[in-house]
A and B are shown apart, each in its own frame.
Chain A
Amino acid sequence: MSLVSLKKINKFYKVGAHALHVLRDVDVDIAEGEMVSIMGSSGSGKSTLLNVLGILDAYDSGEYLLDGTPIRGLSERRAAQYRNKFIGFVFQSFNLLPFKTALENVALPLYYQGITRRRRNKLAAQYLEKVGLLEWSEHRPSELSGGQKQRVAIARSLITQPRLILADEPTGALDSETSHQIMDLLAEIHAGGITVVVVTHEADVAARTQRIIRLRDGKIATEAASTSPTPSTSTSTSPSPSPSPSPSTSTSTSTSTSTSTSPSPGSEQAG
């Protein structure tokens, strides 16, 4: 059974008098443990699709099964539970709370599970360490670089140990060097057994996923299997140092991957 199953999903935006058809009969299936990228030109509906997947946005028709559960008609409480425990969302614009420290931001999802502050902060510190930002715990987002903010956001998305990570252009606001560090981090998360869906514009980012879903004007154009390795076979969930993704066969990314892994604090300190 797929972890994510979309059947004939349609979504409209009302713009003035008429409706904009943003998603047209979209069918998507994503298996547990997959790492998938969604590509397409600007305005093709990538973010809309990801928001629907993350239960951040509603759709107008079709069926969305998340781990077999129909999402339509889910109560607000159950939806909140899914967002909290099942899904981790990573935004292009980070969406950190500016008045909270990195540690408090990472700990926030646990607040809604009723976990004590002490335990929250202890776990948050562990996850900040995983993304290499332990010494930045007490800094507010305004004192962090874009890459650091995104790593804080990733730590936040991971802290509830979700089964699905959704990332909307997580590298969109970052330079290529920092982008590689973030992609290393996502690859590592995937290697830990978590299903990852990444929206991206960048071919080399997409190339590091197992499968690319292409959208054109709200329709699925092609589904191409990417040529990247599939670490999903190793379902080890142990936090032991997972190897950085081995260089892909794609020539364009192989060099950059190998060079980027070594200086990346995220991949070095993980585990």
Chain B
Amino acid sequence: MFSLDRWQEILGTLWRNKLRSALTALSMAWGIFMLVVLLGLGNGLQAGVEHGFADDATNSIWLFAGQTSRPHKGLPIGRRVVLANRDVGKVDALPAVDHITGRYFARGGMFGGEITIRAGAKAQPFDVRAVHPGHLYLEKTLMKAGRYLNDTDVAERRKVVVIGLPVAAFLFGPANAIGRWVEINKVAFQVVGLFDDEGGEGEQKKAYIPITTAQAAFNGADRVNMLMFTVGNAGVAESKAIAAEATALLAEAHDFSPDDPQALRVRNNVENFQTFMQIFSMIDLVMGLMGVLAIVAGVIGVSNIMMIVVRERTKEIGIRKALGATPANIVGSIVQEAVVLTASAGYLGLVAGVGLLQLIERALPPNEMFGPPRVDLGIALGATVVLVVAGALAGFFPALAAARVNPIVALRDE
């Protein structure tokens, strides 16, 4: 029921009761503001963690070769466990294992160091990973042009390389990189593919070469430093069983105790991911609870004020009824007033909250811990609707009561 007249009446009333309107608006806007900010920060934290997982398959198990820390079959402790290419095949034979890759750390150390890649005058050290084709699935590498490494590359120790988009841009500028040659450790490799990675800049500034080619180029024999494989949609318990199975297999082959935590270190990402998700659903819950409390406080504030409004205006209601206002007129104008006030205040709170989140997002440099603090607008709008409905109901019932009494009763009110 839109009429300019009605709006003038309502805005007039709101303006006449500036302080009261401002207080209602404030408690409303504050509730929405708090909810938006809390939800946004919670989402930011969660986005940060998910970002940390985004570039890797979360359904994966990593096995690092280490040193024995327990005597086994009369053998001493402190022996290096050296995995080989054939171990990759053995583990791959397990039915639960989906995609698998070995990793050879050409420069030693954890994950290996960086190796200079050169193309003409351009040269810079990059992380060059020596892998099997299955690595594509473990890293969630997104191919943009050309192809990834394949089994023939590994079997024939081909000198081919797949490079990230920033690497291609650095070496070749906007020109097509596929088919061009680069020098890695003074050996010429042909670029066969370009990739992108959701893990961000750090994961994109990489190059992948066949593990066998790297082993030959860096005198690695057939050494494998690390095994990575995915386990389909196995749950935590299943993934643990698979890890134990793989460990037992390798322990048998390399004569170490399957219970030795140092001989083969296991990183079970299925388990890690679940732990993180549990922590963050807790944080989400706490944030959500605080937001709900803010909304409840808003509802109480708005309801109280609407009750006072009706109380204060009893005499006015009496006069209007004596002049021919129906209960519907009275209730309608009070409810509409409440809705106009709470909806516009809620909108303000929404805008202010989203604005603050955007400021935070802009002020915060991109980092691993905290993603963009965005809020689900649906939830924020839902909360606004809840407050508006609460305000309308809080106005509705006292207004109905006041509008139903005989006009003379309302008129007597002083």
Contact = CB atoms under 8 A, between A and B. Distances in A.
Please say whether chains A and B are actual partners in one complex.
yes
Contacts of B322: 54, 56, 83, 89, 95
A85 B323 contact: no
A156 B323 contact: yes
A51 B408 contact: yes
Contacts of B8: 117
Contact of A85 (B12, B319, B324): B324
Nearest to A80: B326
A111 B321 CA distance: 12
Contact of A108 (B12, B320, B407, B411): B320
A76 B326 contact: yes
Contacts of A51: 408
Contact of A77 (B16, B318, B326): B326
Contacts of B5: 111, 116-117
Interface string B312-328: 00001011111111111
Interface in B378-414: 404, 406-409, 411
B119 to A, nearest CB: 79
B329 interface: yes
Given A56-B411, A57-B408, A97-B316, A76 B327 contact: yes
Nearest to A117: B5
A80 B408 contact: no
A145 to B, nearest CB: 20
A4 B316 CA distance: 28
A228 to B, nearest CB: 28
Interface string B1-17: 00011001100100010
Interface string A84-121: 11000101000111010000000011011100110000
A111 B329 CA distance: 10
Given A56-B407, A111-B5, A80 B321 contact: yes
B408 A56 contact: yes
Interface in B324-340: 324-329
B412 to A, nearest CB: 10
Given A58-B406, A108-B320, A95 B411 contact: yes
A42 interface: no
B406 to A, nearest CB: 5
A84 B407 contact: no
A236 interface: no
Contacts of B411: 56, 91, 95
Nearest to B326: A80
A62 B324 CA distance: 24
A83 B12 CA distance: 25
A51 B321 CA distance: 13
B74 to A, nearest CB: 101
Contacts of B321: 80, 83
A56 B412 CA distance: 11
Q: Which of B316, B318, B326: most chain A CB closer than 10 A?
A: B326
A42 B9 CA distance: 39
Nearest to A54: B322
A108 B318 CA distance: 13
Given A97-B316, A99-B16, A117-B5, A112 B407 contact: no
Nearest to A159: B323
Interface of A: 51, 54, 56-58, 76-77, 80-81, 83-85, 89, 91, 95-97, 99, 108-109, 111-113, 116-117, 156, 160
| Interface pairs A-B: 4 shortest CB-CB | A84-B324, A80-B326, A56-B408, A57-B408
Interface of B: 4-5, 8-9, 12, 16, 316, 318-329, 404, 406-409, 411
Given A57-B409, A77-B326, A117-B4, 9 more contacts: A51-B408, A54-B322, A56-B411, A76-B326, A85-B324, A111-B5, A117-B5, A117-B8, A156-B323
